[in-house]
Structure 1
Amino acid sequence: MRRGRVALRAAALPKAASCVPSPSRPLAGSHESHIQSPVAASDGAPRGLRLSAPAEWQRAAARDRCGCRRRPGGVLRGAPVPAAHAAPARGAASGQAPRVGRGAARGVTDGGRRRRAREWWRGALTAALLLLLPAALRAQSSECDPGEREIRSLKFRGNHAFRGSELALRVSTTPSSFARRTFRVFGKRRCLDSDELRLDVGRLRLFYNRHGYYSAAVDTSVVASADARVRVTFLITEGPPVLVDTLRITGLDSATAPIANTSELDLRPGVVLDRTRLQAAIDSIKTRLRDNGFPRADVAASYTVYDTIAHRARVALEVIPGERARIGQIRVFDEPLTGAPRRLSDSTVLRLLSVSSGDEYSEHAIADAQRELYQSDLFRHVEVRLAPDSAQPKGDSTRVTIDVELRENFVRQVDTEVGWAVLDCFKGRAVLVDKNFLGEARRLELTAQVSKIGHAENTRFAGGNLCSSRMEQDPFSSEVNYFLNSTFRLPTLFGLRGSPAISLYSERRGEYQAFLRTTIIGGEASLTRDLRHELPLRLAYSLEYGRTDAQPALLCAVFNRCDSESRALITGSNRPLAVASAHLDRLRTDNPVNPRSGTTLRLDLRGAAKAIGSDEDQQFIKGLADGSYYRPLSPGVTFAARLRLGSVLGRNFSFGDTVGFVPPEERLYAGGAASVRGFQQNELGDLIYIAEGAPRLTTGASADTVFFEDTSGEFRRVVPVGGNSLIVANLELRFRSAIYPELIQFTTFLDGGSVWQRGGNFSNGVPALSSFSLKRLRWTPGVGVRVFTPVGPFQMNVGYNPYPRPAGAIFYDQAPDEKGFAPLYCVSPGNQIPAVLLPNGGYEQISGGSCPATYNPPQKNSFFSRLTFTFSIGPDF
């Protein structure tokens, strides 16, 4: 059975002929090899690229053509080669419930005779076992046959040119998972297959041969331990590599030599004769020529090992550029939906294409045109390719025909989403899309979105207990947030390679404990254009009519608007806000949700001025830059880093000491699950406090003048101040779980950041900074766990915050009376702001005085009190 199973594996391997190990050719004499660059089709036309939903196993197979890639420890995605430990399942099928399920059922039956607390704990433990044990039990029953020896470790000795982790990807022999080797209960148990071990020797020899080590030798060592487990070691003698002594490139002339640019090739005299490097040089030359007007360019390669003692080789590359050509006819083959008429004409398709007749042929431009057609979502299948030779113009080699093959998609689409969030409670979203509105590939999108359902007024149910208690601390969560939008988008405008759009919208959106922005009506005109591949630039102009509500304490402390009348100048009326913006987004990652490698860069620039239609008090310039970097450290560990910078200029448009007024909704905030995780949402930086109890009144010089002072020492909630300058840095290690590695991920992180006010002083007496200082950075370490769900990764983070709460101003606010009057009192210790008696019997503090930052809040002294828990759904960065 063992041999039969190995034979079946070999038959199932893709391109098995290139993976069967063959004895290395001895270097006793000179030998010569030839590599002919593969031609896409017998008629000379290169294959077209078919775009479809990306499949992880396809990418893994493309990275390793010999099919020997596998997943050590079950942490790498991809189509794994059948491993040495593979064995047919025995006993119960993997889908059957384990025995522990029946035990749990009996526990529930007997639970009536136990206390309720014990029943709860038993239920929790049973649920945990039901989640964890099936994977371990199935692994134990399907990975090994009875009597087989478990692989305790896998090592490589004698390897200097390649790391052991890289060689481990080339063999099928795999040790048991980390959880299994450590705890002996959970995880996958993998056993030794002697037949596969012998094949692994050939795989390693073939790998070294392909990379220029022709005399490499491989042996194995299997050491058994007392617990019936084995340690497998591959003993490698690499030997000296064959080096390129001479490189000769022919076939290029004065027109093609600058295009091929062979001086930048990795293949040059003195390097190892690596066939992977040789193929890369061939592909580079062909790609450069085919991207610059030579559709039939090809390269033939050969090499000769002429000195077997010194291990030297000669390499020859013969470039066959062919004729330079331009695009002639473009033929469209459009297949409509079954039973439906064709919706898009040839002229519409040609307008959507980013290439046209008369353009110089470029394989890269052809691929871009194909991708853009597919991203329009009008087609289920797109293929743009060079037509076969039989369809090319007779007697004219300077013109080529392009074929566009399409299958139409549905043109109308409805998407709905329902979810729950910590700071939004229940929320919903619905989108209606017509991809061919009024024909000619025009697009209409209607969007409706609501949040705060279950907590906002008139939407509460179940007593509001289904929402997070943190929403009670946010005065702006008492109203439903909404967003209504209609967008009309054109595929092109006047032949420009850009996508213009016009939008009308109305919204109410809030920032936790910071502000509530209500837009009665707004409009936006935008143009999106790809500057380069995956580098879109969006330019927009928006004009909206609305108002911003901010907490009275913030308006008093930051903007010196302490009385009701002056605060109403900011929050009491609707005003026009006109914004010109530019957004640049560069995405170079392997996965948009859970990237393991690559970089991202986002740049935002927004500006509002009276000259473009904005209100005099609504003027600013705001810039944000956000960059991320991802790198895999091992198959199960990823390093991630992020840097975010921001700055806002007020209506003075100056970086100096006088910044000027900045609207509350444009201030910068930090802290929370997607920022510095040691702080709660928006609480990084200076804070203002709202007193818990009523203040004490002290009579002044006259009977109708009093002073307020807080006596309780406690605060009910905080008001984030934010700032006009921001820096946030995140460092993170992400570990795949040993149990359910595709679903669970653990993280350790170190977040740092600072938010400060540049220029001038706060009204509350806290001095602002005119320049950044490293001492202002607040660093918080922590750990977290992510669970990947169909709606995105659910994250729970625990950050340790060693910093004391900052001193700040403290205010006492009363509920509005029947006339809407809501007084705000500065109750900071030692404040000298007098309050006068009003005719209605209340008091109001005199404007003009600064509320001092003399309140020191109670501090968190224990370790557990300094832990900050944050929750979110969706990627953090």
Structure 2
Amino acid sequence: MLRFRTRALTTALGLLLVAHQAWAVDPFKVRDIRIEGLQRVEPGTVFASLPLRVGDTYSDEMGASAIRSLFGLGLFTDVRIEVSGDVLVVVVEERPTVADVTFAGTKEFEQDALKKALRDIGLTEGRPFDKALADRAEQELKRQYINRSLYGAQVVTTVTPIERNRVNLTFTVTEGDPAKIKEIRIVGNKAFSESTLRDLFELDTGGWLSWYTKSDRYSRAKLNADIETLRSYYLSRGYLEFQVESTQVAISPDKEDIAIVLNITEGERYVVSSVKLEGNYLGRDDEFKSLITIRPGEAYNADRVAETTKSFRDNFGNYGFAFANVEARPDIDRSNNSVALLLTAEPSRRAYVRRVNVVGNTRTRDEVIRREFRQFESSWYDGNKIRLSRDRVDRLGYFTEVNMETLEVPGVPDQVDLQVTVAEKPTGSLTMGAGFSSAEKLALSFGIKQENAFGSGNYLGLDINTSKYNRAIVLNTVDPYFTTDGVSLSLDLFHRNSRPYNDQGGNYQLETTGAGVRFGVPFSEVDTVYFGGTLERTTIKPGTNIPAAYLAYGEKFGYTSYSVPLSVGWQRDSRDSTLVPTNGTLNKVNAEIGLFGDTRYVRSSYQYQQFIPLNKQYTLAFNGELGYGKGLSGRPFPVFKNFYSGGLGSVRGFEQGTLGPRDVTGSVIGGSKKVTLNAEILTPFPGAGNDRTLRMYGFVDVGNVYGEDDKFELSDMRASVGVGVSWISPVGPLRLAIANPVRKFAGDRIQKLQFQIGTSF
């Protein structure tokens, strides 16, 4: 700091001296201008900033102006103007430039993240350096650490000069321990207990899972979000005048403990006395009244009021009124603790969509986004179609964000433009790794997938899997718009080598090689019908402990079978998410028919899933699966097409694939009929707040597999109950279950603890 002040003083004195010299010099005509002291700055930069040229008359005012202009560039620490006869000599001393920026002692942040933060304030490689910029960098780094609740972080800057007037900057960080929340107090509550209100918060005083959730680390943004959650809780229960009077955050002297105190005023609880409409509702008052979700006699609920006004705006949008103004005006009667709600509406003007603009797609082609649109240009503005278009683009999975904005067209009151802003995300993946499950032990995998190949929206994938029971290599591609009407085309090449789950060991195998084609025809926004065909060869390779049923089939119909099964299916998917659904249903029907080649059979399956949100935290889920297969033309159902059940994904608590018929050797051979019923209630994991990627669940499973000649008997069904954990981990969806079979029979293979990465329901 002393050296910086000395340099500043020297510069100031230099300015005074130069000004004095300039004043002392008689005006003259400049014959030449020379620049001395340049190392990296181009001479043209200096000449362009000088207010005089060769041939101009030099004066003291012009000299002072020249010095100010050059200092204003921010490139020099010192500037002098000397006169040699009629030659003007400009002597400069360049600021050093930043050659490299490094960090030491950083654990909380990746270095790239810190470099980006410094780049945003102007400190990066190749930029001029000064002490003030270094001070700003230190403050910015401390701010980054404070955002992570590391209030005791210390930053020391080391400046190392190197050749060519450059410097290396090293920021040495002593992070210290994060400040943790030791106390959260809510003062002024009467209607609800303090513990009930604290349970609404993402922030807490810590628990055994805080190392993962970091919920005990203070963040102003998180506290503001929790305050809004608290406000919403009261406003949705009739406390219309609820206020957070003050927020006090105190940190201990050692900067390790934080105490938070919220002072609130609940106010009185108000009940809705009436709900009335006022304004222009397009002559559809009854239609709009049906959208009202709050009723007289109920407590005032701000969430339902907001939901109602949004429904009104959306409904106006369905008729082309893009700029409808809807307001909810509460008329409070404090003497009776009641509130009369007046909903006013002014639809404004009807609008056309002039143009749809797509912004932010740096890789994905415009047509891939535009073909998902159901709102067309030069058509009436339709809110339903616009929302549907936005959802369809989002469901592509190519973007981290999809935003839709309605823009007025200047000078044209009845037209709007729609702007779709997307943020691209990587859609390709290269995976190499190993997985482990309680059923299949060690499984090695390799995969190359590109969901948006070359920005075309097409899918390309290669998967190689090896495990104890299943080995496969699969190459597939999907063109979701094989036709302009949205008919999809899927092509598959596969080679699978597997054997049924069996704890008796053995080296017999089922080997299947083939190729398939499938078309998907959309019949609505959620319904798709699939049909296609496959050419496949299946070989039964005898070995030790091969089931007698496999030998019998091979001896009668051959150990190698060629078949051309045709398939047809239907799917309706209205779930809000495929990984962590909380609402909606899934229906899947599929039928496979073998009419050509060495096999004659029909194999069908049906799956139904429903997710019911009980509230923001709890979800009730149901899953049902039916499978049925039958041989045709007097032939039995092929044993290599059998269904299997037991374990994760079916009836938990029983070993994977061990339910159903067995042959004379005791080996499980599966069956041609399958029934599985599951019920789950999903809850937040204790200590994880409302993190949807980490949840606990309780379950009840029922199911079994039956042979082709077996009758379906409820008395033969197996059942289990238990609890489990579902986690969308960095390596894939993980589910762990602890199950207790409550209905089992002699010979059943029990496995109470089961886990797997990548399994579904």
TM bucket (normalised to shorter chain) is 0.5 to 0.7
Write the distance in 2 (CA, Å) between the matches of 1:334 and 1:633: 35
Amino acid at match of 1:671: G
SS in 2 for 1:719: coil
Question: Shift of residue 253 of structure 1?
Answer: 3.0
Q: Say yes or no: does 1:754 pair with 2:638.
A: no
Residue 607 (structure 1) aligns with: 592
SS at match of 1:276: helix
**Alignment-mate amino acid for residue 191 of structure 2:** N
- 1:586 CA displacement: 3.1
Match of 2:560 among 548, 572, 575: 572
Q: Are 1:142 and 2:174 matched, yes or no?
A: no
Q: Match of 2:388, as an amino acid?
A: D
- The residue correspondences of 1:536-615 to structure 2 (distance < 5 A) are 537-547=528-538, 549=540, 562=552, 565-566=555-556, 569=557, 571-589=559-577, 592-594=578-580, 597-610=582-595, 614-615=596-597
Tell me how far apart the structure 2 counterparts of residues 297 and 530 of structure 1 sit (CA, whole Å): 33
Match of 1:671 in 2: 646
Structure 1 distance, partners of 2:197, 2:690, is 22
Conserved? CA contact 1:414–1:433, under 8 Å:
yes
Alpha carbons 1:387, 1:401 under 8 Å: kept: yes
Q: CA deviation at 1:546?
A: 1.3
Aligned counterpart in structure 1 of residue 675 of structure 2, from 707, 723, 726: 726
- Aligned-pair CA distance for 1:389: 2.8
Aligned-pair CA distance for 1:447: 1.9
- For the Cα contact (< 8 Å) 1:725–1:757, is it kept in 2? yes
Per-residue deviation, residues 57-105 of structure 1 (Å, max 9, x unmatched):
xxxxxxxxxxxxxxxxxxxxxxxxxxxxx98756999xxxxxxxxxxxx
Describe the SS at the equivalent of 1:366: helix
Unaligned ranges ≥5, structure 2: 1-147, 156-175, 247-258, 503-507
CA drift of 1:783 comes to 4.8
Q: Is 1:298 matched up with 2:325? A: yes
CA contact (8 A) 1:517 1:546 kept: no
Question: Which residue is equivalent to 1:482?
Answer: 472
8 Å contact kept, 2:186–2:264: no
Q: Residues 511 and 738 (structure 1 numbering): CA distance in 2 closer, same or farther, change over 3 Å?
A: farther
| Greater shift in the superposed pair: 288-297 or 742-751 | 742-751
Partner Cα separation in structure 2 for residue 332 and residue 786 of structure 1: 37
Identity fraction in percent: 15
Q: Tell me what 1:431 maps to.
A: 448
Matches within 5 A, 1:648-663: 648-651=628-631, 661-663=636-638
2:481 matched residue in structure 1: 491
Q: Distance in 1 between matches of 2:227 and 2:450?
A: 57
Partner of 2:607: helix, strand, or coil?
A: strand
Shift in CA distance, 519/315, structure 1 to aligned 2, threshold 3 Å: same
Output the TM-score relative to the length of structure 1: 0.54
Distance 1:385 1:512, change over 3 A: same
Tell me the equivalent position of 1:168.
Answer: 198
> Contact 1:354 / 1:365 at 8 angstroms: preserved in 2?
yes
Retained in 2: the 8 A contact 1:417–1:428? Answer: yes
Q: Residue 548 of structure 1 contacts residue 664 of structure 1 at CA under 8 Å; is this kept in 2?
A: no
- Matched with 1:419 is 434
Aligned amino acid, residue 446 of structure 2 = R
Larger CA Rg, structure 1 vs 2:
2
Q: 1:778 offset after TM fit, Å?
A: 2.1
Residue number in structure 2 paired with 1:618: 600
- Report how far residue 500 of structure 1 moved: 1.7
Do the aligned partners of residues 689 and 782 (structure 1) sit closer, same or farther apart at CA in structure 2, a change above 3 Å counting?
farther
Q: Which has the higher contact order (CA 8 A, sep 6+)?
A: 1
Aligned pairs, number: 577
Deviation at 1:571, TM superposition (A): 3.3
Aligned mate of 2:514, from 511, 517, 521: 521
Cα 1:324–1:666 change in 2 (3 A) is farther
Secondary structure of 1:324 counterpart: coil
For residue 625 of structure 1, report the CA deviation from its aligned partner: 1.2
1:114-155 alpha-carbon deviations (Å, 9 max, x no partner)? xxxxxxxxxxxxxxxxxxxxxxxx99x7336xxxxx659989
Q: Scaled by the length of structure 2, what TM-score is found?
A: 0.61
1:149-298 matched pairs, under 5 angstroms: 159=191, 167-168=197-198, 176-177=205-206, 208=234, 212-213=238-239, 239-245=268-274, 247-254=276-283, 256-257=284-285, 260-298=287-325
Contact 2:659 2:705 in 1 (8 A): no
1:777 is the counterpart of 2:726: no
CA contact (8 A) 1:244 1:314 kept: yes
CA RMSD of aligned residues (A): 5.4
**Aligned-pair CA distance for 1:670:** 1.2
- Counterparts of 1:245 and 1:741 in 2: how far apart (Å)? 35
Amino acid at match of 1:648: Y
How far is the alpha carbon of 1:285 from its aligned partner? 0.5
- 1:357 aligns to 2:347 (yes or no): no
Q: Retained in 2: the 8 A contact 1:527–1:538?
A: yes
- 1:413-435 residue CA offsets vs partner (Å, 9 max, x unmatched): 45334322342733323325484
Q: Is the 8 A contact 1:87 1:143 kept in 2?
A: yes
Q: Is the 8 A contact 1:682 1:720 kept in 2?
A: no
Do the aligned partners of 2:232 and 2:303 also contact (CA within 8 Å) in 1?
no
Equivalent of 2:344 in 303, 318, 322: 318
Q: Which of 306, 309, 318 pairs up with 2:335?
A: 309
Equivalent residue for 2:466, pick from 451, 455, 459? 451
- Residue pair 1:447, 1:485 contacting (<8 A) in 2 also: yes
Amino acid at match of 1:167: L
Contact kept in structure 2, 1:520 and 1:546, CA below 8 Å: yes
Equivalent pair of 2:409/2:417 in contact (CA under 8 Å): no
| SS of corresponding position for 1:588 | coil
Which secondary structure state, in structure 2, belongs to the residue aligned with residue 323 of structure 1?
coil
Corresponding residue SS for 2:329:
strand
Alignment of 1:127-138 (within 5 A): none
In structure 1, the partner of 2:627 is 647
Work out whether 1:684 is the aligned partner of 2:659.
yes
Shift in Å, 1:682 = 0.7
Distance 1:618 1:415, change over 3 A: farther
Query: Paired residue for 1:117?
Result: none
Contact 1:211 1:276 in 2 (8 A): no
Q: Which has the higher strand share?
A: 2
Unaligned runs of 5+ residues in structure 1 are 1-85, 94-137, 145-149, 221-229, 338-342, 453-470, 654-658, 691-716, 761-767, 807-856, 861-865
**Cα separation, 2, equivalents of 1:349 and 1:639:** 33
Letter in 2 for 1:769: K
1:662 to partner: Cα distance = 2.5
Partner SS state of residue 272, structure 1: coil
